[in-house]
Amino acid sequence: MSTDTAALLEQARSSARTLAKSSHAARQEALQGILDALGEEKAAVLSANAEDAAAASRAGISEALLDRLILNESRFEGMLRALREVISLPDPLSEIRKMGTRPNGLEVFRRRVPLGVLAIVYEARPNVTIEAAWLALKSGNAIVLRGGREASRSNAALVRAAQNGLHGAGLPRECIQRVEDDSRERVKELLQAVGYVDLVIPRGGPELMKMVDDWARVPVIRHGQGITHLFVDSSADAQMAEEIVFNSKVQRPGVCNALETLLLHEEWTASDAWPRLALRLSRDGKAEL
């Protein structure tokens, strides 16, 4: 393991211990601090993202990847709305569930606890940087982020804003850290960081998944190609089905969870809802029928 990676992970481990002892109120204050800092740093983040997008365009990045990379005004505001929703959620660590009483009178409970240090490996979408950070913080986990090189300026600006928000709330800045070196060697180090990293979540293509299979020595949550199918049953509400289908395909066609295959019950296709939906999709130009 490189000296830089070891130092970063040592800081993450120390921060995870602090977070594990923090109160829900302290974590809420930190999340609000991140929200405020993002608002203050909005211009800097969007400027950094514009530089990333320009560089990626010059390098010939695909249209779909470029769309994933871009942060505009509306996407930035959507990110802030999502953070407000996370802040409004109850404490995920407060739930205590009684499992039963043993014959000797011992009561058994189940309680949620933080995992510790999370590492997430991902590619072009800079919004993942901040979304992963605040979900980790909400659940009391430190996080190490390794984004793709195409979004390096955006990710750096977002992490800087998040760390400023943490510092203002009295939690260690190192609760949220970014791996600056975007080489695959750093990914291998994260995958093999036994004793430092408690869980790696990789998001990417087949090449990354093969690396995970070959090198992982710590627990991982990985994915395959995924199945972005949607089935509309004969009992489905026509208006609701139309809106769900349209949104899942048209909102952002370039993202990995955009709808790929639509399956319709034969009775639903016989209704007047299907021609209306087909016309709406084809008119938008985002679907092949």
Return the domain boundaries, the chain: 3-92+112-215, 229-284
Q: CATH number for 229-284: choose from 1.10.1030.10, 3.40.50.1820, 3.50.50.60, 3.40.309.10.
A: 3.40.309.10
What span, in angstroms and rounded, lies between the C-alpha atoms of 146 and 180? Answer: 7
The topology under which CATH files domain 3-92+112-215 is Aldehyde Dehydrogenase; Chain A, domain 1 (3.40.605)
- Residue 149, SS3 per DSSP: helix
pLDDT at residue 146, as a whole number: 95
Q: Give the pairing of strands 117-121 and 142-146.
A: parallel
Give residue 281's pLDDT: 81
Cα 136 to its chain centre, rounded Å, is: 10
Measured CA to CA, the distance from residue 161 to residue 253 in angstroms comes to 29
Buried/exposed 72-84: b ≥16 CB within 10 Å, e otherwise: eeeebeebeeebe
- Residue ranges, the chain, pLDDT below 70: 224-226, 254, 284-289
Enter the pTM of the model.
Answer: 0.81
DSSP SS3 for 52: helix
Coil/strand/helix, residue 82: helix
The pLDDT of residue 224 = 66
| Distant-in-sequence, close-in-space partners of 73: CB < 8 Å, separation ≥ 6 | 46
Residue 71 has what pLDDT? 93
DSSP assignment letter at 142: E
**Residue 139 confidence (pLDDT):** 94
Residue 263 half-sphere exposure, CB side, CA atoms within 13 Å? 6
